[in-house]
Amino acid sequence: MLKKFTILLVAINFATAPITSLYAQEQSSEPIFEYSEINHPVMGKKGMVASHNALSSEITAEILAKGGNAIDAGAALGFALAVTLPRAGNIGGGGFMLVHVAKLNKTIAVDFRETAPAAAHQDMYFDESGNVAPMDPSYRFSHKSSAVPGSVAGLAHIVEKYGTMTLAEVLEPAIRLARDGIIVTYDLAADLARSERLKNNPASLKKFYKPDGSNYEVGELFKQPDLAWTLQQIADHGVDAFYKGSVAEKIVADMEAHNGLITMEDLASYKVIEREPVRGTFRGYDIAAIPAPSSGGTHVIEMLNILENFPLSEMGPGSAAALHVTAEAMKLAYADRSKYLGDPDFVEIPTDALVSKDYAKSLAAKISMDKATPSEDIAPGNLAIYESDETTHYSVIDSEGNIVGNTYTLMFSFGSGVVIEGTGILMNNNMGNFTLRPDIPDAFGLMGSENNIISPNRRPVSSMSPIIVSKDGKPFLVTGTPGGSKIISANMQMVLNVLEYGMNIGDAAVAPRIHHQWYPDELLLESGISPDTITLLRQKGHKINFNKSSEAMGSLQTVMFKDGMFYGYSDPRRPGAKAVGVD
């Protein structure tokens, strides 16, 4: 097992082959330190990774050091997090990746979002009276709450199409960790101790707790033999083991025994989709992001387009004026999200209009500098038709210029709480990301439309939105975060802090964040914003909320290449995260 590191934000040195990429032409002999900055990123000369788990980040750096590219390493990290960060890392969920393939000079959006089973229908969670209890176990915490998982297909897809290693080689670290065990950290021990619902499922109880049902303690060895078997099956027999073979058979048997909907046909028909990223610009930089069915990329660009009409840097980061304008832009974008976003394979989405500079200018003209507009006075724009917070994100970049930004999820922390007997697979509860009815908000309080109603094989709308920023055609920054509905606003503020306010990625990540999602009509603030600023925001009519859910908005995992060096920073809002550089 890899040696456990205990010091956060320390780069690890690995011997690697000489760099021959375009990035090599910009290599700096000495790192550039800015002593005026407060939060200093990790540095590396030949690559960088940032993730929510230190051990998994170290594994990823090891893959890079052995000659794998960022795509191999990104897939290895995705599988490893299923072992080390079970609340969010997964092979029983799905998500979205942005992959930049250096040799093609092309950025690809990889959609491996879960799909509704063929037996799913829009009335499946309503009773005979037409009522639904959104926290009812069948809706949130049962076999019936799971959509068809896409993580295994998505991670295998990028390795087989763009990687340099075999799928078995990429899986080896995760198999080893599951088989031999990992040392229980404070973070993992706390996660398991407070997740009592895991004990409601016999297979989950067996996997996550001791034989007598007690909690694992910090420093103890935690082994996952069933998960090791599943990962080994995929290594030996390829992705078909999960979707057509021995693993699929166990998933379906457990579904049939517990009123679940997923069938062998559902698994066998699952497909990864490569999509064209949604693109925009901000202050001369190019933005590539995830398109629908994720709403995140489209509305990050929409918000940046609106904010480009205001001199935010002159107002100053954290000023009442800048925060007011930013909040108003959020309201307008989230209102549009409620109406237009859905699965583009089922509905038409006006993406071109939503990311139009002219449309953004018309929205910016509606913003008063003196007064907050009540949400009830904001409606989605009239356009022509053309996520728990326990998601996780990681970012990887290598010396060749390959990049992976992956955000994937089980939806809630530990998903449905259901482990499939004999597999160690913790299943998602992403059926909860569909809209039950347009008047019923989803699990994160977000309003939706008919475009996101439950339908067989449909992919639910998501907020997941990894972002790649480029200058002069060359990608240099990748970022992303968990956070449910706050993913979109957190990612946008990261980009804004770097490109508008000139912060380094450490200061940009740590800066206090705000969030407004149109409904409910409240401006959520993190701690650290000046009381005087808060008073001014209230005077403008903002309804301020400091509830506990607003204390930590996301957890950005960011890497960048600048001035001949690689930089990485793991947001301190979640414990156990780590950025690791390769030298």
Residues labelled as active-site residues: 391
Strand locations in 498-575 (E): 514-515, 523-525, 544-545, 557-562, 565-570
Report the alpha-carbon distance of residue 219 to residue 358 in Å, rounded.
57
Output helix, strand, coil percentages for the chain, rounded to the nearest 5: 35, 15, 45
Where helices occur in 36-144 by DSSP H, the ranges are 54-65, 70-84, 137-140
* C-alpha to C-alpha distances, 210 to 80, 193, 199, 214, 217, nearest whole angstrom: 22, 12, 11, 5, 10
Identify the three-state secondary structure at position 29: coil
Strands 403-409 vs 391-398: parallel, antiparallel or unpaired? antiparallel
- How crowded is residue 206: how many other Cβ atoms within 10 Å of its Cβ? 15
Rg (CA), the chain: 22
Which residues, other chains included, contact 438 with Cβ-Cβ below 8 Å and sequence gap of 6+? 447, 448, 449, 450
Burial tier of 311 (Cβ tally within 10 Å: 0-12, 13-18, 19+): exposed
Report the alpha-carbon distance of residue 197 to residue 145 in Å, rounded.
15
Residues in the chain: 583
Strands 523-525 vs 544-545: parallel, antiparallel or unpaired? parallel
Q: Could you tell me which of 299, 451, 454, 296 has the C-alpha nearest to residue 387?
A: 296
Both tokens of 100, joined, read 């930049």
Report the alpha-carbon distance of residue 536 to residue 547 in Å, rounded.
19
Report the alpha-carbon distance of residue 269 to residue 376 in Å, rounded.
43
Both tokens of 529, joined, read 């914003």
DSSP structure string for 548-565: GGGSS----EEEEEETTE
Where helices occur in 308-365 by DSSP H, the ranges are 312-315, 320-340, 351-354, 357-364
Report the alpha-carbon distance of residue 190 to residue 34 in Å, rounded.
36
Strands 273-275 vs 106-112: parallel, antiparallel or unpaired? antiparallel
Report the alpha-carbon distance of residue 6 to residue 386 in Å, rounded.
52
Report the alpha-carbon distance of residue 230 to residue 227 in Å, rounded.
5
Which residues, other chains included, contact 359 with Cβ-Cβ below 8 Å and sequence gap of 6+? 302, 305, 353, 381, 383
